Amino acid sequence: MSNLKSMLCVFLLLLSLCLFIQNAAPLVLFITFLLVLGNVPMAAFILTCLFMAFSLRFQPVSLPSGWFFVIAVLVFMVASFWGHAFLKELDNAKRRLEIFLYRRKLYRMMGLVFPLVIFPTLGRSAYQCSLITLGSILVGVELLRWRSPSFNERFCNFFSKVSKEEERLSVTGTTMYLTSAALTSFFPGVIGPLSLIIVTIGDAWAVLIGANWGKKVIRRGKTVEGTAACVFSCLMSALAFGSLEVFHGVSISAIVLGAIGASAAELLTEGKYDNFTMAVAAALSMYGVWVL
C-alpha cells in the first residue's frame, strides 16, 4: 500500500512538473528510468530531476528560474519519503542492477550527461570537445587492445560488469556510442545533442521492451514489440526534448524525420553496430531537412 501511495504521489508530482513547463520531456525520461530500474518510482523521479535540472533552467517559466521548482520538488521528495519506503526502493534497484541487461542500460543512460548537462551549461564547444576527447581516447584504447592481448584481457575484465562477452574480440559498444556522438557533434545547431538524446532513450526502450515482452521476431533478434517501442520512444523523446528552449532551432519535420531515421537504423543494423548507426542516421535525417 505504501509503495502504491508513493508511486501515486510521484506521478502526480511529475504530471504537475510536465504541466508547469508545458512539455513531456521529464515524463519520457522518468518512464525510461522506470524501465531500467524497475518498480522504483521515487528513485527514478530523483534521477529525472537531476538530469533535467540543467535543461529546465533554460525553459521559460513563470518563476524566476526553473531551478527553484526542481529544488523545491527534491526537498519535498526527501522530506516526505526518506525512510523505509525509499530505502526499500534502493534495495529493489540494487537487486535489479544485478542483472546484466539493466546494469548495462543504466550505464548507457549516463551518456545523457553530455546533451542534458554539459551542452546546456557549458555550451556547444564544450559538448563537442568533451565527446571528441573521449572518443579519441577510446579509439586509442581500441588500437591498444588490438595490438596487446594482455591489455585487452585486463581491459575486458575491468569493464566486465557492463560489457558483453562478444566485445572481448570486437570494438566495444561504448566506443561506438561515443564516437558516433562525437561525429554528430559536428552537425550544426542542436542536431548533435538532440540525436544523442533520441538514440539513448530509443535504444533503451527497444532493448528492454523487446527483451521482456517481445514475441514476434522480425530479423536478427529484433522483435515487433521492441521496434514499435523504439519508434514510439524516438518520436516522443524527439518532440518532447525538441520543445525545450535549449534545443530549439530544429523544425518539427526534421525532428520527426530524425526519430524515424534512428528507428530504421536500429531495426536494420545488427545489434552490436546500432550503437553507432542510430545517432548518425538521426543526425543525417535532421540535417537533410535542415539544408532543404
pLDDT in tens, 20-53: 444 678 888 888 998 898 878 777 877 887 888 7
147 in the same domain as 265:
yes
Q: Which residue has the higher pLDDT, 11 or 255?
A: 255
Q: C-alpha angle 102/104/108, rounded to 5°?
A: 115
- The pLDDT assigned to 183 comes to 94
Using pLDDT thresholds of 50, 70 and 90, give the confidence band for residue 79.
low
**Of 98, 122, 146, the domain-final residue:** 98
87 in the same domain as 117:
no
Task: For 227-286, write each residue's pLDDT tens digit.
Answer: 888 888 898 888 888 888 888 878 888 888 988 999 888 888 876 788 889 999 999 999
118 in the same domain as 259:
yes
- The pLDDT assigned to 268 comes to 85
Three cell numbers, residue 113: 550527461
165 in the same domain as 247:
yes
**Of 38, 69, 98, the domain-final residue:** 98
Residue 221, phi then psi, degrees to nearest 5: 80, -5
Residue 195 confidence (pLDDT) above 80: yes
Query: What integer is the mean pLDDT of 209-221?
Result: 81
Number of separate domains in the chain: 2
Which residue, chain included where needed, has cell 531537412? 289
Strand ranges for the chain from DSSP E: 217-219, 222-223
- The pLDDT assigned to 60 comes to 47
* Structural domain boundaries enclosing 109: 104-291
Task: For 122-177, write each residue's pLDDT tens digit.
Answer: 889 999 999 999 999 999 999 999 899 999 899 888 888 888 888 888 888 899 99
124 in the same domain as 71:
no
Asked whether the beta carbons of 200 and 108 are under 8 A apart, the reply is yes
247 in the same domain as 126:
yes
- Measured between alpha carbons, how far is 142 from 155 in angstroms, rounded to an integer? 10
Three cell numbers, residue 180: 558516433
Three cell numbers, residue 188: 550544426
Query: What integer is the mean pLDDT of 4-16?
Result: 53
- The pLDDT assigned to 91 comes to 79
- Measured between alpha carbons, how far is 182 from 131 in angstroms, rounded to an integer? 5
3-class state of residue 222 by DSSP: strand
- The pLDDT assigned to 73 comes to 57
**Of 47, 78, 98, the domain-final residue:** 98
247 in the same domain as 149:
yes
Query: What integer is the mean pLDDT of 69-93?
Result: 62
User: What is the average pLDDT value for the chain, to the nearest integer?
Assistant: 81
Residue 95 confidence (pLDDT) above 90: no
Longest dimension (CA), the chain: 58
